[in-house]
């Protein structure tokens, strides 16, 4: 109890919830006045760091005009235009309030568009807590040690098939059996809910080919990677165009915003133009839209992603060097400003590999890093995030702390 999302309870690391009083730049401050270098970044949204002055000023300005109207505004149109300009596969977009809403709605749309029912997802990929997708979902579900969740009827998941991530073979096998019944394949193009696991070379390309060949929609869940690994998301980084894309986190600038979009002919099936229903009282509210617009404007600054890449590489290299010098066996994965550290000596390419990490050692690492003023995700199955507010000094302090702690874990 006492938390509004399970991973915040710190149960997986044997700790207590960290109650935060305020945040500024790359730092958070707890209720007791302690400061920490923050690599959780509100689970991804705070790519600019906390309390970015331009974002705060924009939010303050729009508050004077009202917080929610239940009617269209120019602000939601502006943010939609920024999203469609950034992500070429997204020709039309619908705003919602959470990543769960985005993925749930995208799957419903895929079923409505294709007239098929089966969904393929991948082990360890988390697409929110809607009943249909809460199958072999990694992240918080893995942290709780249960494969799905009580309260999800069997009938809700009978049409959901979960296959190993980064392995195209089982996908082909499933196509040979059920291709004409499969509505969509949904995937995190960079898996961020089993730690951090990049796609193997060719995996995303093969998914695109096999779905196109069988009239199946490919959905990229870019709630985490959108505007994070590149301005155009993972699909821009890897050069793949999905049929539908789900976004969230960064596009809200720290406020509750998500979206799903894709090819116009598919999106036109959504009500009121089409028969597939989806709605939301606070969807597109002006405060959240303003925060998103202000954030994306900052991301457009020349050199932004190059600077973020440099900082992220410095952190990954520093952690790797600290582990090598102390004899601790770790695997560090990184894509852009997302990182994962696993206490295992084997490559981590899927959820089964991630589960070989020494969870007891990870818990010790987390708790001792916290004691040394560094806040990492309190679960092996969550990613680390670097923000533009992190400085070289912050990163050097982090790697020094890690080296000190690795020496105690031998």
pLDDT tens for each residue of 218-257: 999 999 999 999 999 999 999 999 999 999 999 999 999 9
Q: Which CATH class is domain 53-299?
A: alpha beta
CA dihedral 286, 292, 293, 299 (to 10 degrees): 170
Q: Specify the domain boundaries for CATH 3.90.1150.10 within the chain.
A: 6-52+303-409
pLDDT for residue 129 = 80
Domain range 6-52+303-409, its CATH number among 3.50.50.60, 3.90.1150.10, 3.40.50.10490, 3.40.50.150: 3.90.1150.10
Q: What percent of the chain has pLDDT over 90?
A: 87
**3-state percent helix, strand, coil for the chain, nearest multiple of 5:** 40, 15, 40
pLDDT tens for each residue of 250-293: 999 999 999 999 999 999 999 999 999 999 999 999 999 999 99
Catalytic residues: 126, 221, 249
The separation between the first and the last C-alpha atoms of the chain, rounded to the nearest angstrom, is: 34
- Indicate the SS3 state at residue 203: helix
Nearest to 83 by CA among 209, 201, 311, 252: 252
pLDDT higher than threshold 60 for residue 104: yes
Residue 137's pLDDT band (cuts 50, 70, 90): low
Q: Quick one: tokens of 167?
A: 């392995």
Residue 7's pLDDT band (cuts 50, 70, 90): confident
pLDDT for residue 183 = 98
Across residues 296-322, what is the average pLDDT?
98
Q: Quick one: tokens of 43?
A: 């689970």
Strand 258-262, strand 384-385: pairing: unpaired
Dist. CA 292–CA 158, nearest whole Å:
37
Q: Specify the domain boundaries for CATH 3.40.640.10 within the chain.
A: 53-299
pLDDT for residue 143 = 40
pLDDT for residue 8 = 76
pLDDT for residue 153 = 67
151 vs 380, more confident: 380
pLDDT higher than threshold 50 for residue 144: no
Residue 170's pLDDT band (cuts 50, 70, 90): very high
Contact 279, 116 (CB under 8 A): no
pLDDT for residue 147 = 47
Residue 142's pLDDT band (cuts 50, 70, 90): very low
pLDDT for residue 145 = 40
Q: Quick one: tokens of 196?
A: 């951090």
């Amino acid at each position: 109890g006492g938390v509004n999302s399970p991973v915040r309870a710190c149960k997986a690391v044997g700790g207590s919830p960290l109650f935060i009083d305020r945040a500024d730049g790359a730092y958070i401050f707890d209720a007791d006045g302690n400061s920490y270098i923050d690599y959780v970044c509100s689970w991804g949204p705070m790519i600019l760091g906390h309390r970015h002055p331009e974002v705060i000023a924009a939010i303050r300005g729009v508050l004077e005009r009202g917080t929610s109207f239940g009617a269209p505004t120019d602000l939601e149109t502006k943010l939609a235009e920024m999203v469609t300009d950034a992500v070429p596969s997204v020709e039309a977009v619908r705003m919602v309030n959470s990543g769960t809403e985005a993925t749930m709605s995208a799957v419903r749309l895929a079923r409505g568009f294709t007239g098929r029912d089966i969904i393929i997802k991948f082990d360890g990929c988390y697409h929110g807590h809607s009943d249909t997708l809460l199958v072999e979902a990694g992240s918080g579900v893995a942290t709780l040690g249960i494969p799905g969740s009580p309260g999800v009827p069997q009938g809700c998941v009978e049409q959901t098939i979960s296959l190993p991530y980064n392995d195209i073979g089982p996908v082909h096998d499933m196509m040979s059996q059920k291709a004409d019944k499969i509505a969509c394949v949904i995937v995190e193009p960079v898996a961020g809910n089993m730690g951090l696991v990049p796609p193997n070379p060719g995996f995303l390309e093969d998914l695109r080919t096999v779905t196109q060949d069988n009239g199946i929609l490919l959905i990229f869940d870019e709630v985490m990677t959108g505007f994070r690994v590149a301005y155009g998301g993972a699909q821009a980084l890897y050069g793949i165009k999905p049929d539908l894309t789900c976004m969230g986190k960064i596009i809200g600038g720290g406020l509750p915003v998500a979206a799903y979009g894709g090819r116009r002919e598919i999106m036109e099936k959504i009500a009121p133009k089409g028969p597939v229903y989806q709605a939301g009282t606070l969807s597109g509210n002006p405060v959240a839209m303003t925060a998103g617009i202000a954030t994306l404007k900052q991301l457009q600054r020349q050199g932004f992603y190059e600077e973020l890449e440099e900082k992220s590489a410095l952190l990954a290299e520093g952690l790797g060097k600290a582990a090598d010098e102390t004899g601790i066996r770790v695997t560090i994965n990184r894509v852009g400003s997302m990182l994962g550290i696993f206490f295992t000596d084997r490559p981590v390419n899927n959820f089964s590999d991630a589960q070989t990490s020494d969870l007891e050692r990870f818990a010790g690492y987390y708790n001792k890093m916290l004691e040394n003023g560094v806040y990492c995700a309190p679960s092996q199955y969550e990613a680390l995030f670097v923000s533009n507010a992190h400085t070289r000094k912050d990163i050097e302090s982090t790697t020094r702390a890690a080296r000190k702690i690795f020496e105690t874990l031998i």
